[in-house]
Structure 1
Amino acid sequence: MSFDIIILKPTDLSENDLSAVEDVLDIGSPEAVITFLEQVFPGSAHGAFLDGERYALESAQAGDPVTSIHLALRYGQAWSEAACSDFMDLLSRLCELLQSVAFAVSDNSRMAPPC
């Protein structure tokens, strides 16, 4: 099973709903985005980040400069509440580094960083 996430840099960083985002800013150069992705989720920019049997994460960037990042989170056999918490901590760190916001594609809700 997988879960899709989109990272954007809304002009209003306090936005809680993807459907309410009216305009976005550039996140950064492809090189800078890849550097931060690799710092937080090593391997995700060039294949997949693997956290043992807990989960895998793949990424794709759009634009030059990058305007959005798509993350595909694939749950492993050992996915748990602890794995979810660890993932959310890392996702929040990535968003803070990118000065961006992560939204769940399934329901448009804000995932990270917390408001």
Structure 2
Amino acid sequence: MSFDIIILKPTDLSEEDLSNVEDVLDIGCPEVVITFLESVFPGSAQGAFSDGERYSLESAQNGDPVTTIHLTLRYGRAWSEATNAEFLTQLLRLCQLLQSVAYAVSDNSRLTPPC
């Protein structure tokens, strides 16, 4: 099973719903974005980050400068509520570094608070 996430920098960082985002700012140049991705989820920018049997994460960046980052989280057999909490903490860290916001693609809800 997988879960898709989009990271972007809306002009209104308080927006709770992805479908209401009207305009976005650049996140940064690809090199900086990749550096931050690799610091939080090593390997995710060049293929996939793997946390053993718990989960893996793939990423794709769009634009130069980057305007959106798409993450695909693939749940492993050892996925748990504790793993979910750890993942969300790492996702928040990434968003803080990028000064961006993460949204769930499935229901457009915001996953991280505004940075």
TM-score, reference length from structure 1: 0.98
Tell me the distance in 1 between the aligned counterparts of 2:55 and 2:14. 28
> Does 2:54 match 1:49?
no
What is the match of residue 71 of structure 1? 71
Equivalent residue of 1:44, what SS? coil
What is the match of residue 4 of structure 1? 4
> Does 2:80 match 1:80?
yes
Equivalent residue of 1:45, what SS? coil
TM-score, reference length from structure 2: 0.98
**What RMSD in Å do the two structures reach over aligned CA positions?**
1.0
State the shift of 1:14 in Å: 1.1
Equivalent residue of 1:59, what SS? strand
State the shift of 1:112 in Å: 1.0
Tell me the distance in 1 between the aligned counterparts of 2:35 and 2:102. 18
What is the match of residue 96 of structure 1? 96
What is the match of residue 33 of structure 1? 33
Q: 1:46–1:96: structure 2 CA closer, same or farther, 3 Å change rule?
A: same
Letter of the structure 2 residue corresponding to residue 113 of structure 1: P
What runs of 5+ residues in structure 2 fail to find an aligned partner?
none
Tell me the distance in 1 between the aligned counterparts of 2:6 and 2:43. 18
What is the match of residue 109 of structure 1? 109
Q: Percent identity?
A: 79
